[in-house]
Amino acid sequence: MKLVAATLYALRIPLVEPFDHSAARRRCADSVVVRVRDETGTEGFGEGAPRPHVTGETVEAMLDHLAHELWPRLAERDVPGADTLDALAAFVPDVPLPGAVAANASRAALELAVLDCALRRAVRPASALLPPCRGAVTYSGVVPAGSVARAARHARQMRAVGLRHVKVKVGGDVAVQRVGAVREALGPDVSLRLDANGGWTFARAVEVLDALAPLGIAAVEQPLPRGPVEELARLRRATPVPVMADESLVTPADAEALIGAGAVDFFNVRVSKCGGLSRAFAIGRRAAAAGVGVQVGSQVGETAILSAAGRHLAAALPEVAFVEGSFGTLLLAEDVSVESVRFGHRGEAPLLIGHGLGIQVVESRLRARAVTVRELSGTR
Amino acid sequence: MDCDRFRVTIEAELAGQVASLTGCEDFRRLEDGRATPGEYDAFIESLASAHLRSPQLLAFLYALAPPVAADHLRHNLLEELGLDEESGRPHPDLLVDLLVGAGLAHRLPVVQGEADADLRRIVTDPLLYGTLRAIGLAALIEIVAFEYMLSRVAGRLARALATHRALPPPALAWFTHHSEVDVRHAEEGLTALAAYVDYYAVGPEDALAIAETTLRENVFARRYFRHFVVARSAR
């Protein structure tokens, strides 16, 4: 069946409270959602979260890239059957975006929409392509940047919800005090990670990690800016805290370079950042084969679409150390699906077993929350 | 932290939430007449939807009420249902009067659908807490928050709708009723909250954390302005 139409929605959904980290301050979700439709009228929805400091994409660049580069290459073409993830992924081209590390958010949005459409047409769930290795997924909480008091407040809330894994955004001058306050509020049994979003120098990273290591830190995410992998490898040798790559891991080539250098203990694999489910899954499996741990990460303010994709990825990867995302209306003023994808007590969430990505997107909510809507015709 | 301190902390939190509501741009636009006719209508619909199923929520809370707060919650429930000696008509009927008086009778099925969907969502969403004790506390905090807010703001809302949306007094009976009775309800509600925490032995730190989670956003603005909050964020 041919793809005949697509709609792009640049969303602006207010967050329940601002979410800060060393690279950005977010008050609104700013994902781009793609809806594709085939000639039978079957629809599929995908989402990408453009992050200038990660892939180099902005909302406008993503809209233009989708409208002028990616969609014209798919319009009026037959979508492969929903038999293998790789065949569907190969259907979506990889077109460079000048000035960007990779146009991965754009590609992820379109790949997810095509995948959702193909699975719905075949009346099959995503597990047909990504068989789950587990029956449920356990999510982490994330403490955003801010004051010591605010960090402790968030940590108390996470303890009340029973979360077993928590990540703290660090980077400012009071990192040690903030993490100490979080550890005190959570108690000793909750696993604690740090995320510097590339905000430290090498010396600062060593200093802070040495100070925090006694608190029992399971990993530090992207302590240094994206750059030579040898710097991460050197830091890994210099600190007792396991190191995780995030902004340094965007492409498969990044993954190979990090593995080759023995630079990190963990990869943070994210569907939007890595260019779609297929590539994220491949990077996750490559990591496992190389003895590198995997975190399935998320995008701050992602909607139920990316959360659903992340759920499938986290369920399907053979070994997953940590999972993030599925905050739903804990973070968004309104989510876009009929059913809630938000995790529950202890961060636990069931697998999504419905057709396609397993959620029903409410198109009227997308339209109501979009600041830009672009209709793309089927003509190439 | 003892129960008295918990009550003081919650009251301070609620006062902050009310200040946040009355200080927000959407509220100010309603009050000073700058809102568009569509925004007044959206507000009326959101408010009706937010409170249309209050009897069901109060019935749930009555089922969990500690002995010393049971009378208060039962009285609230009967009042909501119009079965109390002094209360007059059921409150959901007063919300229908509001919609009809505003010329929005044709929107009633939509508003009822939203109220039902909200109730369904409460039941079907994954539970954040692991015990009925914690779930009940979170629900009670939200109900008390609305009583506290309405006791201070219902009159202002009614005046705004009378002045700028030309609603007649019969259509505003829901607001009048809440501004009068919720002063007492709010006080009793805070007492009931403290009693709940005490009777069910919720640790004060846990109680505070549940309160902070429940009130982490402005629950009033989210319910009352949900249809045009995106417009504000885009400005």
Model ipTM?
A: 0.84
Contact A348 B212 (CB under 8 A): no
Q: What is the mean pLDDT of residues B124-135?
A: 94
**Three-class SS of residue A128?**
helix
Higher local confidence (pLDDT), B234 or A76? A76
Contact A156 B130 (CB under 8 A): no
Residue whose tokens read 């015990």: B131
User: Could you tell me the CATH number of the domain that includes residue B36?
Assistant: 1.20.910.10
φ/ψ of A36, rounded to 5, equals -110, 155
Q: What is the pLDDT of residues A216-227, one digit of tens each?
A: 999 999 999 999
**Three-class SS of residue A357?**
coil
Q: What per-residue confidence (pLDDT) applies to B3?
A: 72
A–B: how many Cβ contacts below 8 A?
A: 69
Sorted by where each begins, the domain ranges of chain A are 3-126+359-376, 129-350
Q: What angle do CA B66, B70, B73 make, to 5 degrees?
A: 120
Residue B62 tokens read as 């009555």
Q: What per-residue confidence (pLDDT) applies to B227?
A: 56
CA distance B12 to chain A (A): 16
State the DSSP code for A336: S
Task: Write out chain A residues lying below 8 Å of B1, CB-based.
Answer: none
Indicate the CATH number for domain A3-126+359-376: 3.30.390.10
Between CA A14 and CA B229 the distance in angstroms is: 8
Q: What is the total count of domains within chain B?
A: 1
CATH architecture of A129-350: Alpha-Beta Barrel (3.20)
CA distance A237 to chain B (A): 39
Of A317-331, B14-28, B130-144, B218-232, the one with minimum mean pLDDT is B218-232
**pLDDT over 70, % of chain B:** 93
Between CA A46 and CA A302 the distance in angstroms is: 11
From the list A13, A160, A345, which residue is nearest B206 (CB)? A160
Residues from A contacting B (CB-CB < 8 Å) are 12-14, 16-17, 27-28, 153, 156-157, 159-162, 333-334, 339-340, 342-346, 348-350, 368-369, 371
Residues in chain B: 235
Which helix (H) or strand (E) element contains residue A4? strand A3-11
What is the domain range of residue B150?
3-234
State the DSSP code for A68: I
HEC secondary structure over chain B: CCHHHHHHHHHHHHHHHHHHHHHCHHHHHHHHCCCCHHHHHHHHHHHHHHHCCHHHHHHHHHHHCCHHHHHHHHHHHHHHCCCCCCCCCCHHHHHHHHHHHCCCHHHHHHHHHHHHHHHHHHHHCCCCCCCHHHHHHHHHHHHHHHHHHHHHHHHHHHHHHHHHCCCCHHHHHHHHHHHHHHHHHHHHHHHHHHHHHHHCCCCHHHHHHHHHHHCCCCHHHHHHCCCCHHHHHHC
Helical residues (DSSP H) of A336-380, grouped into ranges = 363-369
Task: Write out chain A residues lying below 8 Å of B217, CB-based.
Answer: 16-17, 333
Residue B231 pLDDT exceeds 70: no
Contact A345 B208 (CB under 8 A): no
Q: Is residue A239 within 8 Å of residue A217, measured between CB atoms?
A: no
Instruction: Name the pLDDT band for B186 (thresholds 50, 70, 90).
Output: confident
CA distance B147 to chain A (A): 22
Instruction: Name the pLDDT band for B1 (thresholds 50, 70, 90).
Output: low
Q: What per-residue confidence (pLDDT) applies to B223?
A: 85
Task: Write out chain B residues lying below 8 Å of A369, CB-based.
Answer: 230
Higher local confidence (pLDDT), B60 or B185? B60
Instruction: Determine the residue among B9, B213, B232 to mutate to test chain A binding: the one whose Cβ has the most chain A Cβ atoms within 10 Å.
Output: B213
pTM score, two decimals? 0.91
Q: How far is CA A280 from CA A48, A271, A317, B93, in A?
A: 13, 6, 10, 53
Q: What per-residue confidence (pLDDT) applies to A175?
A: 86
Q: What per-residue confidence (pLDDT) applies to A379?
A: 60
Higher local confidence (pLDDT), A326 or B222? A326
Contact A345 B128 (CB under 8 A): yes
Contact A157 B127 (CB under 8 A): no
Residues in chain A: 380
Q: What angle do CA A367, A70, A305 make, to 5 degrees?
A: 40
Instruction: Name the pLDDT band for B87 (thresholds 50, 70, 90).
Output: low
Q: What per-residue confidence (pLDDT) applies to B209?
A: 92
Rg (CA), chain B: 17
Residue B229 pLDDT exceeds 50: no
Between CA B40 and CA B33 the distance in angstroms is: 9
Residue ranges for chain A with pLDDT beneath 50: none
Contact B130 A348 (CB under 8 A): no
Q: What per-residue confidence (pLDDT) applies to B185?
A: 78
A313 conformational bin, left if phi > 0, alpha if psi -120 to 50, beta if neither? alpha
Between CA A244 and CA A264 the distance in angstroms is: 6
Residue B233 pLDDT exceeds 60: no
Contact A13 B125 (CB under 8 A): no
Residue B40 pLDDT exceeds 70: yes
Which helix (H) or strand (E) element contains residue A233? helix A229-238
Contact A344 B128 (CB under 8 A): yes
Q: Is residue A157 within 8 Å of residue B216, measured between CB atoms?
A: yes
Contacts of B145 (CB under 8 A, 6+ apart): B14, B17, B214, B215, B219, B220
CA-closest candidate to residue B141, choices B203, B199, B212, B222: B212
Contacts of A378 (CB under 8 A, 6+ apart): A2, A3, A4, A5, A75, A76
Q: What is the mean pLDDT of residues B54-64?
A: 95
Nearest CA in chain A to B134: A160
From the list A16, A157, A342, which residue is nearest B212 (CB)? A157
Neighbour tally for A124: CB within 10 Å: 16
Task: Write out chain A residues lying below 8 Å of B129, CB-based.
Answer: 160-162, 345
Q: Provide the residue type at B59 as one letter.
A: A
